[in-house]
Amino acid sequence: QVQLVESGGGLVQPGGSLRLSCAASGWIFSINAMGWYRQAPGKEREAVAVFTSGGNTNYADSVKGRFTISRDNAKNTVYLQMNSLKPEDTAVYYCNADVTTIASRGNYWGQGTQVTVSS
């Protein structure tokens, strides 16, 4: 089994910054893809920033130039640095990972962390 634990959400004013972290743990053999998604009230979940299995880094158009995804492979952790936050960035942010364990390959979600951008 694999667990994804997110941290770093909170309330921030427009123009502010937050940094999210997501640590994967368990019997991990390899992480094939990992990234961040978000879901705002009444909207579908959308990809925000993802390290793909093909080795690319993809960003949603709405966050390009403001958000940066990074990772620490030794810690099985990804980060999302969010700058110049806007009210429309308000959402629950979820970490997602495609992981190969000793037994199988699966897709996993974290529990989500709330990000609220408001004055």
Sign of CA dihedral 11, 13, 15, 16: negative
| Helix, strand, coil content of the chain in percent (nearest 5) | 10, 60, 30
Strand bridging mode 113-117 / 10-12: parallel
Percentage, residues of the chain above pLDDT 70? 100
CA 66 to CA 86: how far, in whole Å?
Answer: 10
CA neighbours within 13 Å on the CB side: how many for 76? Answer: 20
Q: What pLDDT score does 1 carry?
A: 87
Cα of 3 vs its chain's centroid, Å? 14
The model's pLDDT over 48-100, given as tens digits with 9 standing for 90+, comes to: 999 999 889 999 999 999 999 999 999 999 999 999 999 999 999 999 999 99
Model confidence at 9: pLDDT above 90: yes
Q: What pLDDT score does 55 carry?
A: 87
CA 100 to CA 85: how far, in whole Å?
Answer: 34
| Cβ proximity of 24 and 96 under 8 Å | no
